[in-house]
Amino acid sequence: MYEKKGVVRSVGAAHSFSPVAKPEQHLVSLHHMRGLLDVDAVTQQATFWGGTYLHEVGPILARYNLALENMGDIAEQTIAGAISTGTHGTGLKLTSLSNQVVKWGFIDGQGSYRK
Ligand SMILES: Cc1cc2nc3c(=O)[nH]c(=O)nc-3n(C[C@H](O)[C@H](O)[C@H](O)COP(=O)(O)OP(=O)(O)OC[C@H]3O[C@@H](n4cnc5c(N)ncnc54)[C@H](O)[C@@H]3O)c2cc1C
């Protein structure tokens, strides 16, 4: 098994204004972990890989007559990056993208998958 100690930072689209996604030592990109995993037509909920770009989400959801409630003017971000930073669109009565999340799965610092 390959084992090397160090600080790992995940990166989405690296589209943040600040260097929050800049790696100190190791960088992990989810660029190839993109797309739809599941759609529930009854609850109108969809499960995506975290590396999916926001501009990919709309066309995929449209096949199921679904859509995001709101988006920003830029859609280059990934789902994981946008939700991690509280990315929002416009509108006083519309919330951030993170508020549309009902469930989240992730790998913790010990390498275990949690959901
Ligand atoms: C031109 C421009 C326009 C913008 N417009 C808006 C706007 O309209 N509204 C708004 O709210 N924001 C806006 N932003 C900010 C931008 O949407 C956010 O900074 C968003 O985080 C970018 O997503 P990203 O995928 O590039 O994330 P990154 O910048 O790559 O990462 C952001 C954070 O998420 C973490 N992260 C990323 N992927 C993962 C993962 N898989 N697992 C764990 N952690 C992860 C990173 O480590 C980092 O801490 C804009 C930025 C720019 C440059």
- CATH at 20: 3.30.465.10
Q: Decide if 2 is inside a domain.
A: no
Which CA distances in Å does 23 have to 11, 55, 57, 115?
8, 25, 26, 25
Q: Tell me which residue range forms the domain holding 76.
A: 8-114
pTM of the entire structure? 0.92
Distance 1 CA to ligand 1 centre (A): 32
Predicted pLDDT at 2: 65
Distance 2 CA to ligand 1 centre (A): 30
Q: Decide if 37 is inside a domain.
A: yes
Which residues in the chain come in under a pLDDT of 50? none
**Token representation of residue 38:** 């599941």
Of 90, 86, 64, nearest to 77 by C-alpha is 86
Task: Name the strand (E) or helix (H) holding 56.
Answer: helix 54-62
**Token representation of residue 48:** 């995506």
Number of domains in the chain: 1
